[in-house]
């Protein structure tokens, strides 16, 4: 399995999570070059990930990617606290809880954004439009 991590917002569990996943043979790619999750999702799709674990910026809601299941982890920001029902996991989720959710999604459980049909695609333009 190849897991992508959208790190639009820093999280203290990521280092331990990546190590724990590597211990069980999961290939992990982290994309943190953009504060916009949609741009990181595009980078992760290009890397060939099977599932995305998203830590969206504190000013962004949970979001999905129509082509790849996306698990959203909330922060403690006012926006994320107001939208807790839109996130798969809370900011206080442990590494074990995150891994459990990843395996549930890999085995067919829908993520919250999949269940409501939300998602975004950001693709680079090849030509200018007029």
Distance, CA of 2 to CA of 54 (rounded, Å): 14
pLDDT band, very low/low/confident/very high, at 125 (cuts 50, 70, 90): low
The range of the structural domain enclosing residue 112 comes to 2-116
Any domain includes 75: yes
Helix (H/G/I), strand (E/B), else coil: 121 = coil
Q: Give residue 122's pLDDT.
A: 57
In 3D space, the residue among 54, 101, 106 whose CA is nearest the CA of residue 80 turns out to be 54
Any domain includes 70: yes
Any domain includes 98: yes
Question: How many distinct structural domains can be found in the chain?
Answer: 1
In 3D space, the residue among 4, 12, 58 whose CA is nearest the CA of residue 32 turns out to be 4
Any domain includes 128: no
Any domain includes 23: yes
Give the CATH number, domain containing residue 87.
Answer: 3.40.50.2300
pLDDT digits (tens, 9 = 90+) for 19-47: 999 999 999 999 998 888 989 999 999 99
The pTM score is 0.87
């Amino acid at each position: 399995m190849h897991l992508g991590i959208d790190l639009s917002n820093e999280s203290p569990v990521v280092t331990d999570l990546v190590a724990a996943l590597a211990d069980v043979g999961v290939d992990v790619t982290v994309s943190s070059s953009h504060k916009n999750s949609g741009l990181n999702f595009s980078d992760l799709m290009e890397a060939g990930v099977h599932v995305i674990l998203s830590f969206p910026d504190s000013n962004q809601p949970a979001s999905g990617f129509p082509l790849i299941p996306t698990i959203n982890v909330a922060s403690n920001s006012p926006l994320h606290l107001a939208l807790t029902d839109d996130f798969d996991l809370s900011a206080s989720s442990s590494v074990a809880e995150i891994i459990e959710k990843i395996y549930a999604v890999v085995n067919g459980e829908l993520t919250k954004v999949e269940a409501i049909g939300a998602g975004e695609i950001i693709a680079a333009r090849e030509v200018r439009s007029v």
